[in-house]
Structure 1
Amino acid sequence: MLALSWGTTGASDRALYRKIDARILPLMFAAYFLQFLDKVLINYANIMGLQEDLGMHGQQFSWLATAFFIAYSVAEFPQGWLLQKFPPATVLGVNVFLWGVLVSSTAACRNYASLVAVRTLLGVFEAVITPALILITSQWYTRRESTPRFGLWYCGLGAGQIIGGLVSFAAQHGPRGTSLSGWRIMFVAVGLFNLIIAVLILLLLPNAPETTSWLSEAEKIRIRERLALDQAGTGRKVFRATALVEALFDTHVWVLFVLTILIVIPSGVVTTFSATLIRGFGYDPKAAALLNIPSGAVSIIATLGCTYAILIEFPRWLGIVLLMVPTLIGAGLMSFYEGGKAGVLAGIYLINFVVAPLALVYALAGVNTQGYTKKIAVNAVVAIGFGIANIIGPQTFLSWEAPGYISAKITIFAVNGAVIIVAIMLRLLYGWRNRRRINERQAELDALSSGRIDIRALEKLEGEDTDMRNKAFVYVY
């Protein structure tokens, strides 16, 4: 039996995880920040003359967003295969490099067809981001610890909104209608930054605790012990067809899938079209870019608040439900308020609370799934839900309804209410599974809670069993 070695005090563990946090979280944050910034750049380019420069018309801009997310969804399982076959940090770094090349290449587009081609390929490479970051986070942290870390790298979304607004504002001071239009300069600058971060990820982000040069052997053992006792981690990196089949027929996976779609439809609409909506209130492009910055601040505050609440045992499902309250108020103001610009603008800011629940969904997908193969499959399904929602969302923006876009606003209002219902269903499902499991295997749960259990046996169990087959596994919600 592997005894619980050094690190039995909380102080030792805190020192260890401060070191881990400082080395891996900034890189994961940067990766998520860049993939979101790459998506939102098209939003800002739209108010900087993109459509006029490339001769776009009608629904073509909406289809631009749709093409990206069709490719994003289709590429999830190939990217999952790469994560199964190769080290996850390496797969992430290579993809970040490739999408950086494509972001820079956007500046060379001269017509709608070339832009669609670039955005489609961009969707293929960015499809890796969510499965890779969920997998990497699960390799290091217990289930209680992982949710705040999901929140930290997920704040890259809000940072992308803020920095994107500032980049757009700066780029709009450049020339327009020429080969060096402001939006072209913006894509080149951001693309080059992508390449720098990709190199840093490839050089500095560890592929696993066991292969990390800046950890001592005792520290590596301690990480293994903590993950095994918590029934967390990713398990052994082996492909198991039975785990893949189980993932595709597991009810909780598909509830998470539906929940992701419902959350992301309004989230995607706002992040892709918020600057366009603000400009529709009569603001010029520079003002629209700056006025969209508070949306990012709201996203960050909501995300940090809901994910750090998990450390004081606040229920994850209830966090999702409560975040829908300001979102619904915001949707109502944005859709139906007729008292002036200020109220509608406040609605756009409030609706950004809907961004935060997705961090909790990512956390639930990570902590309530056991086994390497099943984790990859579940992460891919959730990411496909993200892509499908972003396919649906832009198509609710009908060009002939500009600048009011009433169909999009009504859709946002409706799906926000549906999120509450599905979140409650998910909580009931997890509660039912736990009650059944406790009744079946109380003895195993007692042994686990006492700490009198063979760590190697737990690691073997974690590597070979899934959450459905491991009767000692307890779902968190």
Structure 2
Amino acid sequence: MDARRPASVSEKAEVEKIQDVAAAHTLGELGLGTGSDPAIGSFVDIDEKKVLRKMDIRLIPMLAALYLLSFLDRGNIGNAKIEGLQEDLHMTPEQYNWCLTVFFFTYAAFEVPSNLLLKKLRPSRWLPLIMVCWGLVMTLMGIVQSFHGLLVARLFLGVTEAGLFPGVAYYLTMWYCRHEIQLRQALFFSAASVAGAFSGLLAFGISKMDGIGGLAGWRWIFILEGIATVLVAALAFFWLHDFPETAKFLTEEERAFVVHRLKYQGQVQTSADGETEQAQVAQAEEFEWKYVRQAFTDWQVWVNLFVYWSVVCPLYGISLFLPTIIKSLNYTSSTAQLMTVPIYVVAAILAVISAYFSDKVGKRSPFIIGFLLMMIVGFSMCIASSNPKVVYGGIFIAACAIYPAFPGVITWLCNNLSGSYKRSAGMALQIGVGNLGGAMASNFYRQADSPRYILGHGLELGFICMGIIASLVLIFSYYRVNKRRAQRMADGELANFTTQELSAQGDRAITFRYMF
């Protein structure tokens, strides 16, 4: 048994039974079964598309709702600002930027521990718990009376929100194979785009409550959205599922099938006739600290961070400052709130479409680099012109590239990390350290640079160019490693390793092929 502990003895027995069924099927496929046991054989009666549809319906909507509220709660400070937050709390522009920045310090610090806890604890308990905590923090932000109060609230918001995005991104890899994961990551992450659209609409409506209960409109933005988060968290306790082994919406045979297909993904071997085929090399599951150390010392994690920064800096630049940038183009606060909506809607649609084709062709880097080039066009338009329509068009183009690129970057790394715990730590490290880019982006758009914000747009362009270079380094490196491993297998080195040794090596095994 691994560290994914079900809540009861009966569930533990059920998990063991499912794993036994999956193992029996594996024996049958390898020609090691007796043929007398009806559980032994291939999964010929399982409709894979039907199973995927079941999983999509039961998992994605709730996860998207959680992330929608998460992104809404961390970014609504931008909507509150143009409704009077900065003036009411007597903050300088530098103090406001500090309130944006400190969120990312605690957010980055707690992501790796949270992901390891998610693996140890039940997702259906851990994710709603942290959601209740950040909902309470968000609600209390509505009653802060000073810069220091807001600063402390943003610090605690970072602590409580830290586990959601890396947790869900990793959680999905425990259900879906790597050739189908980006579409699901995009469906989940597109909630961020929808959150941006909702944020403008909600802020527009909630701001009309200005004066009710003696509270300013911006305070009601925090209070009502925080309460909504707590209510959805209460529902999530009952609607979230833990792992495929215990999923009640799947039959016993379907659960065994899902477990089986996840265990033997990403590995190849050369058969006697020279053809490349799937290798039966299961991923290691028992927790050992060496898997965490491997994630921290893996070169690809650190190179991928530069790609991540090239997307996350523009992402937070847009999400935190978009209402302010649009308002600076001589629009009213209400109009600026509404003008953010179409940007996010189109971005969400493009994120899903691009993810579908990325999964279909089995490639990540061409889409990521393409969207990075699209961002360059958008931010260049913002720098080159002072015409409000051109600047708005540039922001539109940039946003429509940022939101599709982000799930691609997350998926690219998780596709190339093998071993459950290494993937957990590696993804948390990528997102945790990567989100320090949000701390940097929080200071890109200074009030003194309004309305052109040339410095902010220029810094975004610099990070984007860095991401393109890092992407090319990854592509070249993956190609060389895959070619070298193929040659080693052709030379017969596979015979030197046992199945257990290959399993322990994870993505460093000669049977593993990097996706690029």
TM over 0.5: yes
Separation of aligned partners in 1, 2:93 and 2:427: 35
User: In the alignment, which residue of structure 1 is the partner of 2:20?
Assistant: none
Question: What is the aligned-residue RMSD (CA, Å)?
Answer: 2.4
Unaligned runs of 5+ in 1: 448-456
User: Per-residue CA shift, 1:344-371, capped at 9, x if unaligned?
Assistant: 1101111111232121111112221111
**How many Å separate the matches in 2 of 1:131 and 1:419?**
20
Which amino acid counterpart does residue 140 of structure 1 have in structure 2?
A: W
- What does 1:322-471 correspond to in 2, within 5 Å? 322-338=370-386, 340-352=387-399, 353-442=401-490, 464-468=504-508, 470-471=509-510
**In structure 1, distance between residues paired with 2:101 and 2:192:** 19
User: CA, structure 1 residues 465+197, in 2 after alignment: closer, same or farther (shift >3 Å)?
Assistant: farther
Contact preservation (8 Å) 2:371, 2:402:
yes
**Equivalent residue for 2:35?**
none
Please tell me the residue identity of whatever aligns with 1:474. R
Gaps of 5+ in 2: 1-23, 30-40, 268-280
Corresponding pairs, count? 464
Aligned to 1:473: 512
Superposed CA deviations along residues 76-115 of structure 1, whole A, max 9, x for unmatched, are 2321332243223422221111111111111111111111
Tell me if structure 2 keeps the 8 A contact 1:89–1:136: no
> 1:152-174 CA deviation, whole Å, 9 max, x = no partner?
10101110111111001101212
Contact 1:69 1:391 in 2 (8 A): yes
Partners of 1:331 and 1:245 in 2: CA distance: 38
Instruction: Note if contact 2:116-2:425 (Cα within 8 Å) is conserved in structure 1.
Output: no
C-alpha distance after superposition, 1:396-416 (max 9, x if no partner) = 222322333221111112222
| SS of the residue 2:150 aligns to | helix
Who is 1:206 aligned against? 241
Deviation of 1:7 after TM superposition, in Å, equals 4.4
Give me the whole-angstrom Cα distance separating, in 2, the residues matched to 1:243 and 1:268.
Answer: 31
The CA deviation at 1:290 is 0.3
Q: Deviations over 1:436-468 (max 9, x none)?
A: 221223599999xxxxxxxxx97x778744211
The one-letter amino acid paired with 2:185 is F
Give me the TM-score of the superposition, normalised by structure 1: 0.91
| Alignment check: 8 A CA contact 1:264 1:355 kept | no
Partner AA of 2:424 in structure 1? I
- Name the stretch that deviates more: 105-114 or 196-205: 196-205
Is 1:16 aligned to residue 51 of structure 2?
yes
Say if 1:317 and 1:423, in contact at 8 Å, map to a contact too. yes
Could you tell me how far 1:237 is from its partner in structure 2?
4.6
Higher relative contact order (CA 8 A, sep 6+): 1
Structure 2 distance, partners of 1:254, 1:201, is: 34
Q: Secondary structure of 1:144's match?
A: coil
Q: How far apart are the structure 2 equivalents of 1:445 and 1:198?
A: 51
Distance 2:99 2:284 in 1: 40
What is the match of residue 142 of structure 1?
177
Residues 234 and 189 of structure 1: CA distance in aligned 2, closer, same or farther (over 3 Å): farther
Contact 1:37 1:164 in 2 (8 A): yes
The answer as to whether partners of 1:100 and 1:192 remain within 8 angstroms in 2 is yes
- State how far apart, in whole Å, the 2-side matches of 1:159 and 1:243 are: 36
In structure 1, C-alpha distance between the alignment counterparts of 2:502 and 2:404, rounded to whole Å: 30
- Say if 1:24 and 1:205, in contact at 8 Å, map to a contact too: yes
Q: Distance in 2 between matches of 1:202 and 1:231?
A: 33
How far, CA to CA, are the matches of 1:178 and 1:212 in structure 2? 46
- Tell me the distance in 1 between the aligned counterparts of 2:71 and 2:512: 34
Greater Rg over alpha carbons, structure: 2
Supply the distance in 1 between the matched residues of 2:107 and 2:184 (Cα, whole angstroms).
Answer: 24
Deviations 1:262-316 (A, max 9, x none): 2111111111101100000111110000011122123213311221112331521
